[in-house]
Amino acid sequence: MRYRDLSLWTVGSDEPRQLNISSAIAFTSLKTSIFPMAYRLSGTTNGRVITHVIFDMDGLLLDTEKFYTVVQEIILARYNKTFDWSLKAKMMGKKAIEAARVFVEETGIHEVLTPEEFLVEREGMLQSMFPTSELMPGASRLIKHLHANGIPICVATGSHKRHFELKTQRHGELFSLMHHVVMGDDPEVKHGKPSPDIFLAAGKRFEGGPIDSQNILVFEDAPSGVAAAKNAGMSVVMVPDPRLDVSFHKAADQVLSSLLDFNPDDWGLPHFQE
């Protein structure tokens, strides 16, 4: 099923409409909850000893992907075009300018809107949304559990510093448990996902780093992020949006419908006490 089939554009009419941001966000969240993932793959350590964990952020720890979806739908509506999940899958996890190039090229609006203009246009809307970011189910429990058991953890996000601060301002205590955070505008991250740059940089910055990639487990929601982690030689648990085509799941070592489904025992990590 395509994203358009679930979206506000087809409610009552096939013609694109002006969206109300708050109602669009609420509807996007509802779609996520009523279309659960159909299956879960069994994880394996493949003989690797996992000692460190790296988390993606958007769509994995924080429920922020819906903001990007809504804003991009609003922009495309002006050009009588719609935003679907095949396009979103290509944009997720990338640096902002890289995702913007994909957006304007794939939608055919590059002659009327440059990638830079697109970023400027969506920025105002996003800045008002990001401070309302909520944690994804199971994120707090898993982060606190790993930290309490002495497992070094960090974040590797394509978000740049300004957006990171807006998104996490309600969750500072939880993110303070991270050993470090590597962002998309970090000088060492020359190329965005699926390049391994961000994960290799994250692995170097742990105490005693660089950490052998075979000892690192990455949590990701985006196809490009899964590819980046695998390109870095790391193991990956994928927690994708249920609307993402299942063909994107095959590269991950384990696929879960939620962080709540993660079993540390699968990876030789300290088990939950509850």
Give catalytic residue positions: 56, 58
User: What values do phi and psi take at 263, rounded to 5?
Assistant: -115, 110
Cis upstream peptide for 131 (omega within 30°): no
What is the rounded distance in angstroms from the CA atom of residue 18 to the CA atom of residue 13?
12
- Per DSSP bridges, beta strands 52-55 and 216-220 are parallel
CB-based contacts of 260, cutoff 8 Å, min separation 6: 137, 138, 141
**Alpha helices of the chain — where are they, by DSSP H?**
21-34, 65-77, 85-91, 96-107, 115-129, 139-148, 161-168, 172-175, 197-204, 223-231
Give the integer Cα–Cα distance in Å for 120 and 97.
11
**By three-state DSSP, how is residue 161 classified?**
helix
Instruction: Return the closest-CA partner of residue 100 out of 119, 128, 84.
Output: 119
Distances from the Cα of 49 to the Cα of 45, 214, 267, angstroms: 7, 7, 8
